[in-house]
Amino acid sequence: MLEEDGAAIGPIMKDRFSDLATNDPSTMDHSGASGRAAILEPGSRRLEMAYAIFAILVYLGVQFGLNDGDGSGELAVDAMATINQAIVLLVGGCFVLRHHRACLAALPVIWPFLLFLALAAMSSLWSQAPLASLRRSLTLATLMMFAVYAHAVLGTLLLCRLQVAAMWIVAFASFAVAAIVPASGFDIGGYAGAVRGVFTQKNSLGDSMVVGTVALSGIVLCRHRVTLADLVSLALALATIILAQATTSLLLCMAIVVVTTGILLVLDGRALAVFGLLTGLIAASLAVWIVYVVPVDLFDLLGKDSSLTGRAEVWTAVRRAIEDGSVLGYGYSAFWLPETPAAQNVWAALGWTTPSAHSGYLEVRLELGLPGLLLVAILGIASLAVAVRAWWAGDGATAAWALIVLMIIAVVNYDESSMPRPDIHLLQWILAFAACTTGDKPQSSEGQRPNITLATSEY
């Protein structure tokens, strides 16, 4: 099977996968693609992997504490999020310094994202809340630092595996919280029966399962086959989404599975049996969901009303705020603050307090204006370009996974404000872009290529 995998990915990779099969770091080549793994000793590797999982949990939005049961959704310890970000920055900074040559060599690969970071930081010059924009820009810079470190030192494929591991942690931790502390583990209001677990609301739990499924897709595409462990992970994600009553997440996961299996058929015609297995699993999950929800019409099936749970009203109010504001926007993460008059006007028009525009595209326009929208367009075009180039270069698995990442980001940002935020979706986008933007790069002085495709980024 290793021979088949190696042949599918390319002759260069045969020895790589043979090394991996032994699970013996001492057998790995200390040059080229496998040198990345070789620079990490077993003890250091475990430590850095543990840090990576912690960072993934932070960017997923996991709440390291219990939710209040009064309906506010606030954490008992608000400072925990700041502490977590500080840990990601300080510990990650130490690892970056340790592997500074590899990280510096990989930094130019994500140039479009660095432009976005520069615009976010510069927006503090005209922001209505300059300090808020600077602080949030630091958080964005921390995420990009972690992404560069992860790509250059750990590798994209290993990060995908760690994201799947984080998905398991989130699922079982959420089940445990719901069972032991129901007031914290279940959502409130109209979704009182939905599990929210270690998040402040149920949709975040569902989104974390989508992220894990995207990562699982990358692993499967790289391997060109599906294992029993993959099916179990997928079943866990679907079961968690059903318990969270996150219909949009369920539809996204099904779309990921269908697209992934279709790509497998293109890459390897023998994957027909995989398609049948996963299609059957999807059909069974959908049947369970339909029985559970008992929908009346399309909006009921999607768990929303005809106004998309109030989003249409929010979009109208946000567009009005955009028209009243500057062409440069209100500043990065500087709009939805209690002390800003513009946000107060939106809340007054709505009659309730919304924490975001519930649209990534509107959020970018609101905060970073037309320059922000232009940069997002450049990011999208550049990502498509490098994916197409990777496909024509023979790396169909990496290119296909990047397209899946882009698809999820485009859909998620239709009714959620993820795009301008330093969250897990942006992390996956950067990793996918970096994985596609690889080739015959000069090796760094540490003896490894700083930019390795998805197929080669593995211990």
Mean pLDDT for the stretch of residues 420-443: 79
CA distance 385 to 98: 33
pLDDT computed for residue 318 by the predictor? 86
- pLDDT value at 375 more than 80: yes
For the chain, what is the largest distance between any 2 Cα atoms, rounded to a whole number of angstroms? 65
Grade residue 282 by pLDDT with cuts at 50, 70 and 90: low
Confirm if 171 and 62 have CB atoms less than 8 A apart: no
At residue 71, the pLDDT reads: 45
Cβ-based neighbours of 363, under 8 Å, separated by 6 or more? 356, 357, 417, 419, 420
pLDDT at 51: 95
Question: What's the whole-number mean pLDDT along residues 72-82?
Answer: 56
% of the chain exceeding 90 in pLDDT: 44
Average pLDDT across the chain, whole number: 78
DSSP reduced 3-state for 194: coil
Give CA 337 to chain center in angstroms.
25
Nearest to 379 by CA among 402, 353, 359: 402
* Structure confidence at residue 259 as a pLDDT band (50, 70, 90): confident
User: Of 442, 5, 454, nearest to 223 (Cα)?
Assistant: 5
What 3-state DSSP class applies to 255?
helix
Lowest model confidence (mean pLDDT) among 34-38, 364-368, 380-384: 34-38
Q: What is the DSSP secondary structure assignment for residue 154, as one 8-state letter?
A: I
Helix, strand or coil, per DSSP, at residue 345: helix
Per DSSP, helices labelled H in 35-155 are: 35-38, 42-60, 80-98, 100-106, 111-122, 130-149
Q: Output the six-digit token pair for 148.
A: 């560069």
Helix (H, G, I), strand (E, B) or coil at 341: helix
Least Cα distance to 401 among 278, 223, 254, 151 occurs for: 223
